[in-house]
Amino acid sequence: MKVEILGSGGAITIPRPLCNCNVCNEARIKGTPYSRMGPSVFIHDISLLIDTPEDIVHQLNRSNITKVKYCAYSHWHPDHTMGRRVFEMNYDWRNFPPNNMHTQLLIPEGVKPGFEEQLGTMKHFDYFEYLGIINRTILKDDSKFEIDNFIIQAIRLKEDYVYGYIVSNLTTRILIIMDELVGWKVPESLGKLDLAIIPAGVFVNHPITGQQNISENHPTLKSECTFRETIDIVGNINAEKIVLSHIEEPDRLSYDDLLMVEKIYKKKGINLEFAYDKMILEV
Ligand SMILES: [Zn+2]
Ligand SMILES: [Zn+2]
């Protein structure tokens, strides 16, 4: 299976507009792997995109992707959906009747209400369906959606408007969770995985210097999983390889800092890697 992290950033990408911090300035000069666009993953074997952040247009342009046959969504939050106008890439703007390309959207049943209530998402998709560039499939909980010899399973997280995905074929099984791990316990049924991609969480303390990074009473800490909590989850996932993504600018960690954090945890016997934009994972 060939999995590409198209964007390894979170809601606040790196560089962040207007920001003059060291992490953003370095990213402006060096580009990838120091810069990070919004959260998105692509599985090349089945042409499956997961989520459409604002900069998905640029992410697709810089990759070798020539078709997006499927797009699965994790939840309605803007950093995961607001690039959805990208599907207009499918429209034939010159021939009539148009000879469009087409993307099948996979929307878990618990994501659908958020799409109907927030940001005009479902209305926007009504328009795309009218243009003939997408159609929508609602994934029922515990159902299996098949693409060729691959099976896609949407799994509802503790925050029940958010889903992760298990993608498997005869030889390989991977887990992709884009965001919102808070309160999630690894279910026993998850079993053995070849790869798990999960969000890194909020770094309450700088993982190298220990410096406090966020006010202790900040409401974010009630709604978001912390990096420390993520490490507990990492300990409970049985995976050959674990990759942490959704890395937020306000945590002020550079690509080099995160390489150092990987080494610190390796010494403790915890194998994890941090994602970067355009990271290819062959499993
Ligand atoms: Zn997010
Ligand atoms: Zn910055």
- What is the distance in A from the centroid of ligand 1 to the CA of 71? 16
Instruction: Name residues of the chain where pLDDT drops below 70.
Output: none
> How much is the pLDDT for 142?
85
> How much is the pLDDT for 111?
98
Cα 153 from Cα 84, distance rounded (Å)? 22
Closest ligand, as measured to the CA of 223: 1
Please, which residues have CB less than 5 A from ligand 1, an ion?
11, 79, 179
Terminal C-alpha separation, the chain: 5
Closest ligand, as measured to the CA of 14: 2
Which DSSP helix (H) or strand (E) runs through 267? helix 255-267
Closest ligand, as measured to the CA of 73: 1
Which DSSP helix (H) or strand (E) runs through 59? helix 56-62
Q: b/e for 249-282, b at 16 or more Cβ within 10 A?
A: bbbbbbbebbeebeeebeeeeeebbbbbbbbebe
- What is the distance in A from the centroid of ligand 1 to the CA of 35? 16
Enter the tokens of residue 156: 């509802």
Cα 20 from Cα 12, distance rounded (Å)? 14
Closest ligand, as measured to the CA of 20: 2
Asked if CATH classification 2.60.420.10 holds for the domain at 2-282, the reply, yes or no, is no
Cα 145 from Cα 140, distance rounded (Å)? 9
pTM of the model: 0.97
> How much is the pLDDT for 269?
95
> How much is the pLDDT for 240?
97
